[in-house]
Amino acid sequence: MSIDARSDKRTAAKNVTVTSSPANGKLWSNWSGSVTARPQEIRMPRSVDEVAEAVRVCRREGRRLRIVGSGHSFTPIAATDELLISLDGLQGIVGVDPEGFTATVWAGTKLKLLGELLFENGLSQENLGDIDVQSIAGAVSTGTHGTGISFGNISTQVVGVKIVAGTGEVLDVTRESHPDWFKAMQVSLGSLGIIVQLTLKLRPSYKLEYESRRMLLDDCLQQLEPLREANRHFEFYWFPYAKPSQIKVMNITDKEATGRKVWDHISDVWIENSLFGLLSEMSRKLPGTSKAISRLSASQVPVGRKVNYSHRIFATQRLVRFNEMEYNLPAEAMADVIREMREKIERERYRVHFPIECRYAKGDDIWLSPAYDRDSAYIAVHMFKGMPHERYFADMEEIFLRYGGRPHWGKMHGLQAGQLAERYPMWRAFKAVREELDPDGLLLNDYLRKIFL
């Protein structure tokens, strides 16, 4: 089956989520507002040829370009004052191989739409992160991950890439056809070219039972191994200054879908977003209340279960805006790192009420994946938008780095080229591919230049 991106009614403009997309001549900003830019021009190509033409124009005129997905990265990784390319006009499924459990999809497809389109074909992604508004190419390019020690990040689902490289060439790349290029393209930071299509390895659709409950943080830290081994997906949130933490697990089930109950809406939208948003505003205006607010939030952790198809269970709504730093660590370091973070937070009395999100992922062989060559823990710290995060993030980062941490590419960090090279064994190999596929630095913005040059 082959569906043209322009002829499928559910693709392209009809499904574009434009909330954080740029508009010509206007100020562009990422989701959290931490990054702004003024692109001279914005293009929304609607075919591979139009993408290639944009690259050719830049090469001819000596301009640089960046690609934006949904603008959900916290760093200036997608920002440019030159040409900004959005693939919002290239969404949908190109073709499905039901026997091989693969699908080729347009790179601009938002994860929510992708989940529904795959589901119509009896297929689903084996794992996802906790929101579904990103584009598939944006998620892949930064190594976006969910949780589950048996599952790699979303990039591990990729088995083929069609890309317009910085040279202007259109390349079809698989592990078999170009082993080095493929390992570089699975997590590329958008620095090799414009990905136009991705082929994903999928599995038959399945339902998940989700359960949220409270557990004392100390008990949770003692039971990390059984919790992560016994559940397909396990994560926990701990609230600074509070004793209880929130445990979330998801496991495959044949039970009936519970549907969308009123209580789910109250819990997901009202408690986790509206009420938390109000408390966050209070914390921003009266920072001295943040400790009490963190404890209050911990005591209100929703307790319950729900069942639905996987793509509808993984995603949550995130209506409260924040800034975030997330680090990948060796899986076995989780408890020690958290104990150190807790001690530091309490000693320094940071004014923070946002919970800290703790997840797991399987190691992989992708050159710039933070989970390269090790089963991993991921720990993310957040700060409400408008509240100072610098000292808190810097001190947490210092702990992460001592345990061999590698930053998430979509989230804030303070590392420069030399420090990154030390942490990624295949850094030089990646740079060699980068120089081959983008010899003129067409895709480099200030942020990437600092990392790669």
Nearest to 304 by CA among 260, 257, 244, 263: 263
Integer Cα distance of 360 and 149 in angstroms: 5
Stretch that binds ligand FAD, among 2-10, 60-68, 336-344, 364-372 (CB under 6 A): 60-68
Q: Is 195 in the site for ligand FAD (CB under 6 A)?
A: yes
Tell whether residue 129 is a contact of ligand FAD (CB under 6 A): yes
Q: Looking at 61-69, 272-280, 369-377, 414-422, which segment touches ligand FAD (CB under 6 A)?
A: 61-69
Alpha-carbon Rg for the chain, nearest whole angstrom, is: 21
Site for ligand FAD in 303-322 (CB under 6 A): 318
For ligand FAD, give the closer residue by CB, 55 or 337.
55
Is 138 a binding residue for ligand FAD by CB under 6 A? The answer is: yes
Give the range of 64-72, 243-251, 295-303, 389-397 binding ligand FAD by CB under 6 A.
Answer: 64-72
C-alpha torsion 331→324→139→109, nearest 10:
150
Per rule CB under 6 A, count of chain residues that contact ligand FAD: 32
Nearer to ligand FAD by C-beta: 291 or 382?
382
Interface residue with ligand FAD among 109, 134, 186, 245 (CB under 6 A) is: 134
- Binding ligand FAD (rule: CB under 6 A), the pick from 12, 42, 79, 137 is 137
Pick between residue 69 and residue 115 the one whose CB is nearest to ligand FAD: 69
End-to-end CA distance of the chain: 43
Q: Does 164 bind ligand FAD (CB under 6 A)?
A: no
Q: CB of residue 256 vs ligand FAD: minimum separation in angstroms?
A: 27
Q: Is 351 in the site for ligand FAD (CB under 6 A)?
A: no
Work out the angle between the directed axes of helices 390-402 and 334-348 (0-180°, nearest 10): 150
Q: In this chain, which stretch among 34-42, 68-76, 414-422, 431-439 interacts with ligand FAD, using CB under 6 A?
A: 68-76
Interface pattern 88-107 for ligand FAD (x via CB under 6 A): -------------------x
34 touches ligand FAD (CB under 6 A): no
184 lies in the site for ligand FAD, by CB under 6 A: no
Return the number of the residue (37 or 96) whose C-beta is nearest ligand FAD.
Answer: 37
Binds ligand FAD by CB under 6 A, chosen from 28, 31, 236, 360: 31
Residue 114 exposure: Cα atoms within 13 Å on the Cβ side: 31
Instruction: Give the whole-angstrom CA distance, residue 322 versus residue 163.
Output: 32
CB of 222 to ligand FAD, least distance (A): 26
The set of residues, in sequence order, having a beta carbon less than 8 Å from that of 113 and lying 6+ positions away, is 10, 11, 15, 91, 92
Check if the beta carbon of residue 157 is closer than 8 Å to that of residue 199.
Answer: no
Q: Which of 144, 157, 280, 310 binds ligand FAD (CB under 6 A)?
A: 144
Applying CB under 6 A, which of residues 12, 42, 54, 77 lies at the interface with ligand FAD?
Answer: 77
Q: Which one of residues 83, 84, 118, 130 is an interface residue with ligand FAD (CB under 6 A)?
A: 130
Q: Does 72 bind ligand FAD (CB under 6 A)?
A: yes
Answer yes or no whether residue 78 interacts with ligand FAD by CB under 6 A: yes
Which C-beta is closer to ligand FAD: that of 73 or that of 246?
73
Using CB under 6 A as the binding rule, whether residue 194 contacts ligand FAD is answered as yes
- Rounded to 10 deg, the angle between the 290-299 and 276-285 helix axes is 170
Determine if 224 is a binding residue for ligand FAD (CB under 6 A). no
Binding residue (CB under 6 A) for ligand FAD from 37, 114, 131, 371: 131
Q: Least Å distance between CB 43 and ligand FAD? A: 12
Contact 25, 173 (CB under 8 A): no
Instruction: Tell me if 73 contacts ligand FAD by CB under 6 A.
Output: yes
Smallest gap from residue 319 Cβ to ligand FAD (A) = 9
Give the interface with ligand FAD as residue ranges (CB under 6 A).
Answer: 31, 66-73, 77-78, 87, 107, 129-131, 134-135, 137-139, 141-142, 144-145, 189-190, 194-195, 318, 408, 410
